[in-house]
Amino acid sequence: MADEQQNTCVDCTQMSDCFRVLSKEELELVGQKMVRLSFRKGEIIAKQGAFATHIMFVKSGLVKLYRESENDQNDLIINIYAADNILGLSSLFGDSIFHYSVAALEDSSLCLIEINIVRELVGRNSDFSVSVIKRLSRNNLLAYEILYAVTHKQLNGRMASAMIYLAREVFESSGFTMPLSRKELAEFTGMSVMSAVRAMKDLRQNGLIGSENGRIEILDMERLEQISKFG
């Protein structure tokens, strides 16, 4: 964690649509209660159990949101977020404790915004609160989707779903550099590391995805979706 810098926000060129609805005055308010931080790959951005004092806007990079395991050291990766996403919204009005951790998957830059100012914005700017509700809703439906996958699909189907999700939702491209280690891939799909390796091997051998030194290419989306649905 380094490279701290105050930011005015008003003249920020890469702000989220969430903040685009704010007035100039409100943006200045945010700027005063905001700090921009750089995180190296692997660094923890928010710790499960800690006080939720801020929300996190991903300015650049890639982060994972995950739940830590109380027994073993197998976490559960709930979601992957690229730039332009906001994390921590589900802790806005609850017990003010993070019920998940967030860590950088690659070198990332985030804006941490004090939670009080965000609460205030929800109160005074209805466009902003609509935006918050939209994001929470999306996360909700996605969680249901994953829950269904984990309970009803088997290994290859879950891995296929994960590949499709990464391509479509995270990278918005049929090819991408795999940001997850095998262990993380296992934690994302709810299987053991060995099973994750085998599932990836299967998809590759059947010509569904290409995989060369860390670069993933979706080769046959149609069949991949078939497996994702019925595997």
**Residues at the site binding DNA, with contacts judged by CB under 7 A:** 154-155, 181-183, 190-195, 197-198, 200-201, 213-214
Exposure string (b/e) for 11-27, b if CB count within 10 Å is 16 or more?
A: ebeebbebbebbeeebb
Q: Which does 200 bind (CB under 5 to 8 A by kind): DNA, its own copies, none?
A: DNA
Residue 228: HSE in the Cβ half-sphere, 13 Å Cα cutoff: 18
For DNA, the closer of residues 1 and 130 by Cβ is 1
Q: What is the DSSP letter of 33?
A: T
For its own copies, the closer of residues 12 and 150 by Cβ is 150
For its own copies, the closer of residues 41 and 144 by Cβ is 144
Shortest distance (Å) from residue 152 CB to its own copies:
6
Report residue 111 CA to chain centroid gap. Answer: 15
Shortest distance (Å) from residue 178 CB to its own copies:
21
Shortest distance (Å) from residue 36 CB to DNA:
25
Task: Let me know: does 76 contact 190? Beta carbons within 8 Å.
Answer: yes
Shortest distance (Å) from residue 46 CB to its own copies:
14
Beta bridge partners of 217: 175, 210
Q: Where along the sequence are the contacts to its own copies (CB under 8 A)? A: 67, 69-71, 74, 76, 78, 89-94, 99-100, 122-124, 126, 129-130, 132-134, 136-141, 143-148, 150-152, 190, 229-230
Q: Which does 73 bind (CB under 5 to 8 A by kind): its own copies, DNA, none?
A: none
Shortest distance (Å) from residue 23 CB to its own copies:
15
Report residue 9 CA to chain centroid gap. Answer: 23
Residue 67's φ and ψ, nearest 5 degrees, are: -105, 135
Please name which of 41, 62, 40, 16 lies closest in space to residue 176, comparing C-alpha atoms: 62
Q: Which does 198 bind (CB under 5 to 8 A by kind): DNA, its own copies, none?
A: DNA
Q: Which does 155 bind (CB under 5 to 8 A by kind): its own copies, DNA, none?
A: DNA
From the CB of residue 106, how many other CB atoms can be counted at a distance below 10 Å? 15
Alpha carbon distance 196, 125 (integer Å): 45
Q: Which does 14 bind (CB under 5 to 8 A by kind): its own copies, DNA, none?
A: none
For DNA, the closer of residues 44 and 194 by Cβ is 194
Q: Which does 219 bind (CB under 5 to 8 A by kind): DNA, its own copies, none?
A: none
Exposure string (b/e) for 74-83, b if CB count within 10 Å is 16 or more?
A: ebebbbbbbb
Residue 33, Cβ density class (10 Å: 0-12 exposed, 13-18 middle, ≥19 buried)? middle
Shortest distance (Å) from residue 151 CB to its own copies:
4
